[in-house]
Amino acid sequence: MTRASGAASPPGGDPRTPQLDHLRRVARLFDAQFRVPGTEFRFGIDPLVGLVPGIGDIASPLLTAAMLWHATKLRVPKIVLLRMVLNSLIDAGVGAVPVVGDLFDFAWRSSEWNMALLERYAIPGREASSGDYLFVVVCVLIVALAATLPIVAAWAIISWLLSVRPLY
Quick: pLDDT tens for 40-70: 999 999 888 888 877 777 888 888 888 988 8
Q: What is the pLDDT of residues 68-102, one digit of tens each?
A: 888 888 888 888 999 999 998 888 888 878 888 88
Q: How far apart are CA 87 and CA 132, in angstroms?
A: 11
For residue 12, the model assigns a pLDDT of 42
CB atoms within 10 A of CB 163: 7
Beta-bridged to residue 34, according to DSSP, are 43
Q: How do strand 34-35 and strand 42-43 relate by DSSP bridges? A: antiparallel
Q: What is the pLDDT of residues 108-158, one digit of tens each?
A: 899 999 999 998 888 766 777 788 788 888 877 886 787 788 888 889 999
For residue 34, the model assigns a pLDDT of 93
Continuous segment of H or E residues that includes residue 34: strand 34-35
Q: What is the pLDDT of residues 9-40, one digit of tens each?
A: 444 445 557 888 899 999 999 999 999 999 99
